[in-house]
A and B are shown apart, each in its own frame.
Chain A
Amino acid sequence: NAGVTQTPKFQVLKTGQSMTLQCAQDMNHNSMYWYRQDPGMGLRLIYYSASEGTTDKGEVPNGYNVSRLNKREFSLRLESAAPSQTSVYFCASSDLGGGGSGANVLTFGAGSRLTVL
């Protein structure tokens, strides 16, 4: 039972380069999320997908794009990386998609540490 798997675990980019962070979950969850974690800032939501075929912006979407490829996979793309995007990125999933009913417990991946020079 892998849960939420993120790749790569570490990546170093130069300013202006592009890359995609991959995320896959094997729990048949409807919803998936991308957060970034910065010192003293906690976790901030970048994008989320309430269900397959839908994506929505979170608190800090600028500079990122996402694709919900299928129910299992949710990728995060940086088209032109900037030093401000140096961060640890977490993918998460949950078994709740919209409606606001019930508690939304997230399962997190181990994180992807990205450095932009």
Chain B
Amino acid sequence: AQSVTQLDSQVPVFEEAPVELRCNYSSSVSVYLFWYVQYPNQGLQLLLKYLSGSTLVKGINGFEAEFNKSQTSFHLRKPSVHISDTAEYFCAVSEGSGGSYIPTFGRGTSLIVHP
């Protein structure tokens, strides 16, 4: 069965600074990887996904993530954050053929952007 570890429960950062939110996964088969964002008092929405091909994936709002198979990681990055990026971020993994298609979510990382 797959699992996801988000290494930081909270990441404080100043506006316009770069940020990296870390995610590691474990699985015995090929994986699909996702980052979802949850703004205060809202549901989750897809930020970006890795299916196959290029290991650098670009998403909405200037975010990008890099799939590293050898490190089993899928870290999320943004070169310059805004106050509006303050939200909860969830990494998720589902498996390809032979595995579970239902996503398993990490515990979430709270990104707090200070002015």
Contact = CB atoms under 8 A, between A and B. Distances in A.
A106 B90 contact: no
Contacts of A40: 9, 107
Contacts of A44: 105
Contacts of A108: 36, 43-45
A101 interface: yes
A89 to B, nearest CB: 11
Interface SS, A side: loop
Contacts of B94: 103-104
B3 to A, nearest CB: 11
A100 interface: yes
Contacts of A35: 105
Interface in A21-65: 33, 35, 40-45, 48, 58
Contacts of A4: 43
Nearest to A91: B43
A2 interface: no
Interface residues of B, number: 28
Contact of A42 (B43, B100, B106): B106
A99 B100 CA distance: 9
Contact of B98 (A100, A102, A109, A111): A100
Interface in B26-73: 32, 34, 36, 41-46, 49, 51
B98 A41 contact: no
Given A40-B9, A108-B43, A108-B44, A101 B103 contact: no
Contacts of B34: 103, 105
Contacts of A110: 41-43
A50 to B, nearest CB: 9
A74 interface: no
7 smallest A-B Cβ distances: which pairs? A108-B43, A42-B107, A103-B32, A43-B105, A108-B44, A110-B43, A42-B105
Given A100-B100, A101-B96, A103-B34, 11 more contacts: A40-B9, A42-B107, A43-B44, A43-B90, A58-B102, A100-B101, A103-B32, A103-B94, A108-B36, A108-B45, A111-B41
